[in-house]
Amino acid sequence: MKAITHIVCGVALLVSCWLAVSPAAAGVDVLIEGDAKEQSEISITTIPGQPGKLVMAYNDDTTAALGLGIAHRQSAGGAWTTLQLPIPTVPALPGPPSMTWIFDPTITADNAGNVYAGFIGGGASSWPGPPFAWPDSGMYVSVSPAGSYGQAWNTPVQVAYDPAPTANPDPAYRFNDRCQIVADNVSAGSFAGNVYVSWIKDRGFQSGLMSDIYFATSADQGMTYTYPAPQAAGELIINDNPGTDLANIPVPAVAPNGTVWVSWLDYNVVGGGVGKIYVDKSTDAGLNWGTDKLVTTINLPPINVTTKVPPAQDALAKDGTPIAVSPLNSNHLYI
């Protein structure tokens, strides 16, 4: 890591929490949404140039499906308002049908005031198994246009889609998962205003632990997402060893010079144990990537944390490697 001036490491574990609506007060916990449903995996963003405005996205377990909740506050100390994002349809299938559930929220805002909520959708179709009903899946981004600040949302844009498997095993099967999004609000060049999304695809249930990192760029405020030719949509893989890596939770960040950094974990999410933190960078808005750099190793729990006797799942951990870049040095990272 000689090219990186300084790295500070840490791992964030996000666990389920419950939200309810109430006006804000300094130094007091504010309930955003309080009902019988479970809210979890909260992602929150400020809006550049709009002090006091906040927007968050979170898993919102409804009675019909796992949905995506949005909460927005339009002024400092103001009340929070909640809503649900629409569940996307799948143009590749006859109908077209809607996804059964959406999850894995991630949110950001750009300097123009647009707010972007990314998420994973699945379950419009599935292969009945055995042993499981393996679903199709897609990665989506919905935009709240400038001036709305989270109050209204456009129809979700499909960034990537993979169909349900056709056999067991199906070597071509991929499941989209663990997306993260960031807007370039810091560079002054031709990449300023770009929106970047990173996510993983599990490599199929014949080798279910294996997963790779995918990346896409929007240069038109989230209307479309592009990938370098001649690769097919969704097929830009960042990690160096596709098919054998255990890549998870890729988190993008933008440097003042326009460089895009992505950090991620590589570990066994089922069994836990010693994992590795990696970082890579692109200097051309995600068209090309360098060699994966090992940051450090770290002891990690399995995704299903069990403390009960007899054993039973009582917590679900979302692990990740948040990354930030110094505003003064584009090679000075905090992870």
**219 lies in some domain:** yes
Q: Which helix (H) or strand (E) holds 157?
A: strand 157-162
Label residue 294 exposed, middle or buried (CB < 10 Å: 0-12, 13-18, 19+).
exposed
Q: Could you tell me if 221 and 151 are in contact, meaning their C-beta atoms sit under 8 angstroms apart?
A: no
**330 lies in some domain:** yes
pLDDT at 11 over 70: no
> Side-chain half-sphere of 120: how many Cα atoms within 13 Å?
22
pLDDT at 315 over 80: no
Q: In whole angstroms, give the CA distance from residue 58 to residue 54.
A: 14
Block residue for tokens 């499981």: 132
pLDDT at 46 over 90: yes
List, for residues 265-292, the tens digit of each pLDDT value: 999 888 889 999 999 999 999 999 999 9
- Selected residue with higher pLDDT from 221 and 130: 221
List, for residues 291-311, the tens digit of each pLDDT value: 999 999 999 877 766 666 776
Average pLDDT, the chain: 86
**1 lies in some domain:** no
Has this prediction a pTM greater than 0.95?
no
List, for residues 74-125, the tens digit of each pLDDT value: 999 899 999 999 999 999 899 899 999 999 999 999 999 999 999 999 999 9
Task: Determine the pLDDT at residue 27.
Answer: 78
Task: Determine the pLDDT at residue 205.
Answer: 64
**149 lies in some domain:** yes
Which CATH number covers residue 263?
2.120.10
Q: In whole angstroms, give the CA distance from residue 38 to residue 283.
A: 40
pLDDT at 8 over 50: no
**14-28, 44-58, 125-139, 150-164: segment of lowest average pLDDT:** 14-28
**305 lies in some domain:** yes
Task: Determine the pLDDT at residue 38.
Answer: 81
**322 lies in some domain:** yes
| Number of structural domains the chain divides into | 1
**121 lies in some domain:** yes
Residue 201: other Cβ atoms inside 10 A: 25
Q: In whole angstroms, give the CA distance from residue 289 to residue 2.
A: 17
pLDDT-above-70 percentage for the chain: 82
Determine the structural domain holding residue 67 and report its residue range: 6-334
**131 lies in some domain:** yes
Provide, for the chain, the percentages of residues in helix, strand and coil under a 3-state DSSP scheme, each rounded to the nearest 5. 0, 45, 55
